[in-house]
Amino acid sequence: MIEGSSKNKSLVDGNALFSLVMLAVIAMVVSIGAIGIVSVAKSSGASGVTASGTTTVQVTLSEFKITLSPESVPAGNVILNIHNTGTAEHNLAAKALSKRVPNIPVGGSATLDLGAISSPVDLICEISGHESSGMKATLGIGAASMDNMASGSEAKTMSNDEMDAAMATVAKRFPEKTSVTGGQELAPKILADGTKEFDLTAKIVDWQVDAQTTVKAWTYNGQVPGPQLRANVGDKIKIVLKNELPESTSLHLHGIRVPNSMDGVDPLTQDVIKPGATFVYEFTAKETAIGMYHSHHNGQVQIPNGLAGSLIIGDWKQMVMAKNVSKIGDANNKIDQEIVMVLNDAGTIGLSLNGKSFPATAPYTMKVGESMLVHYYNEGLMTHPMHLHQPRGLVVAKDGEMLDVPFYADTLNVAPGERWTVAYTATDKGAWAWHCHILNHAETPQGMKYMVTAVIVS
């Protein structure tokens, strides 16, 4: 069954072992603050009170801390009023009690009933990377709560030797193998009239963000990011999307010139694609593009959870070199490889590069004199300043538009929804770190983590 408007009824993975040069790591400690008000029930009509004797704690979530008000409560029934005042999606869990709230959008609120408690309760944000970035706190009981916090395993201060050993251990695991990699190029079906058909299925699967972390990812064809789609100007393109999610969805072709009826914004341009239904998106590629495709239905949940991929129209390696040959400085005037790097920071995937967290991120290899074309895609909720330590970067395009005046940069801010295209040319041998320069997106006291990979130049 095909659903939609009346006009639309017919409608790099390699296994290589690298010897990674040990990279210097900055240790950081993120403190947890606490400000606010407590409301203790005295009558059933009091604001925020559910029953006599119940303590209500105000919880504020932000980047990257959990603030409790108060930090300590008397033993008994406790309810948490949770408010997300940050700029990214967060959640809250009391893992020892097996209690949690779903992801809370920016500006949103939720309530968590802890029930009757008589000992301190550890609280964390379960979005990948957020706990280690500082989103953890302990709700204490009575006067002993601060002592309990100080003696807890999360509050224990690592010695210098322990920190060094932890950092060395995680670095030696790179590149850590996981079961499936995302963003693999999808070969289209070529129909009788020459149309290129790409078949996508939206579904939830178990996804390894790293070897120790498996989450429920919302995927296209079981991949995060979704398969890479490629076409040429003039191609007729058909994208057949089947919905196997537990809720409705749609697909927006971001940065791609399409008819309004194919824009994928329900209920404006089409009906929702209900669970079990299929929708066909059809258009002709009229111009070159560095586009993305992603959900446009409950997007603050579906996209960070994995429903996003790349759609590239045109031969960008050839176009970029033809316009910038003198500035790129490639040894043979030919771009040797082209990659997509999708940035994320929220949802079940969390802080990641192409759906993976260091040390499970993919390394890249180059030889001195070779060049690599990188398309940065930000599908997260925060801006990420991406920094490659050594090969110089020539910024050649933004959002699929070639720049009249390209510029060199070793750190480039990539905001949500943006695509930046950069040509890197290797000049010196070594293993060069490549990471987001928001420091707690790349480093923890236990070593490098999250939005980190490396380029190995020989």
Determine, yes or no, domain membership for 319. Answer: yes
Q: Amino acid identity of 133?
A: S
pLDDT at 51 over 70: no
Note whether 247 and 146 are same-domain residues. Answer: no
Residues 200, 101 share a domain: no
The DSSP line for 20-75 is PPPPP-------------EEE-SSTTSTT--STT-EEEEEEEETTEEEEESSEE-S
Task: Give me the pLDDT at residue 282, please.
Answer: 97
Q: Each residue of 87-131: pLDDT tens digit?
A: 788 999 999 999 999 999 888 899 999 999 999 999 999 998 888
The residue to which tokens 């300043």 are assigned: 385
Q: How far apart are CA 190 and CA 35, in angstroms?
A: 61
Terminal Cα-to-Cα distance of the chain (whole angstroms) = 53
**393 and 250 share one domain:** yes
Assign residue 145 the CATH number of its domain: 2.60.40.420
Within-domain flag for 410: yes
Q: Is residue 24 part of a domain?
A: no
For residue 71, the model assigns a pLDDT of 87
Q: What are 354-376's pLDDT values in tens digits? A: 999 999 999 999 999 999 999 99
High-pLDDT (> 90) share of the chain, %: 71
**Does residue 26 lie within any of the structural domains?**
no
Average pLDDT over every residue of 145-153 = 35
Q: Residue 265 falls within a domain, yes or no?
A: yes
Cα-based distances in Å from 366 to 119, 316, 416 = 55, 19, 29
Provide mean pLDDT across the span 146-171.
Answer: 66
Task: Classify residue 14: in a domain, yes or no.
Answer: no
Residues 84-117: b if buried by 16+ CB within 10 A, e if exposed: bebebbbbbbbeeeebbbebbeeebebebebeeb
Distance CA 420, CA 400 (A): 8
Instruction: Indicate if 380 and 333 belong to the same structural domain.
Output: yes
**pLDDT tens digits, residue range 9-38?**
333 333 333 344 333 333 332 222 332 323
Within this chain, do residues 127 and 180 fall inside the same structural domain, yes or no? no
Quote the mean pLDDT of the chain.
Answer: 86
Report the pLDDT value the prediction gives residue 3, as an integer from 0 to 100.
39
Is the pLDDT reported for residue 59 higher than 60? yes
- CA torsion 36→42→43→49, rounded to 10°? 30
Write down which residue in 157, 188, 203 finishes a domain.
157
Choosing from 124, 157, 190, the residue where a domain stops is 157
Whether cis (ω within 30° of 0) applies to the bond prior to 416 is no
Domain range holding 271? 176-457
Residues 273 and 230 in one domain: yes
197 lies in the same domain as 344: yes
Give domain status of residue 27, yes or no.
no
Higher per-residue confidence, 75 vs 296: 296
d(CA 361, CA 339): 14
Tell me: pLDDT of 8 over 60.
no
What pLDDT does residue 144 have?
A: 36
Kindly indicate the confidence band of residue 300, based on its pLDDT and cuts at 50, 70 and 90. Answer: confident
| 8, part of any domain | no
**Weakest-pLDDT range from 48-57, 415-424, 444-453:** 48-57
Same domain, 274 and 143: no
Do residues 153 and 261 share a domain? no
Length of the chain: 458
**Whether the Cβ atoms of residue 309 and residue 354 lie closer than 8 Å to each other:** no
Contact predicate 439/351, CB 8 Å: no
Q: What is the pLDDT of residue 157?
A: 65
Q: What percent of the chain has pLDDT over 70?
A: 85
Helix H, strand E, coil C: the string for 390-455 is CCEEEEEEECCEEEEEEEECCEEEECCCCEEEEEEECCCCEEEEEEECCHHHCEECCEECECEEEE
Cross-strand bridge partners of residue 198? 239
* Rounded CA separation 435/414 (Å): 12
Q: Which residue has the tokens 């490098």?
A: 448
Tell me the CA distances in angstroms from 143 to 22, 73, 74, 119, 414, one per residue in order. Answer: 45, 9, 9, 12, 46
Predicted confidence at residue 33, as pLDDT, reads 31
What is the structure's pLDDT at 129? 82
Q: Which of 44-58, 146-160, 302-316, 352-366 has the lowest mean pLDDT?
A: 146-160
Shared-domain flag, residues 142 and 223: no
What band does 445 get if pLDDT is binned at 50, 70 and 90?
confident
Per-residue confidence (pLDDT) for residue 29, from 0 to 100 = 29
Mean pLDDT, residues 45-66: 70
Q: How buried is residue 256: exposed, middle or buried, by Cβ count under 10 Å (0-12/13-18/19+)? A: buried
The rounded distance, in Å, linking the Cα atoms of 120 and 34 is 16
Do 92 and 240 lie in a common domain? no
Mean pLDDT, to the nearest integer, of 151-160? 55
Domains of the chain: total: 2
Last residue of a domain, one of 157, 190, 215: 157
Residues 113 and 233 in one domain: no
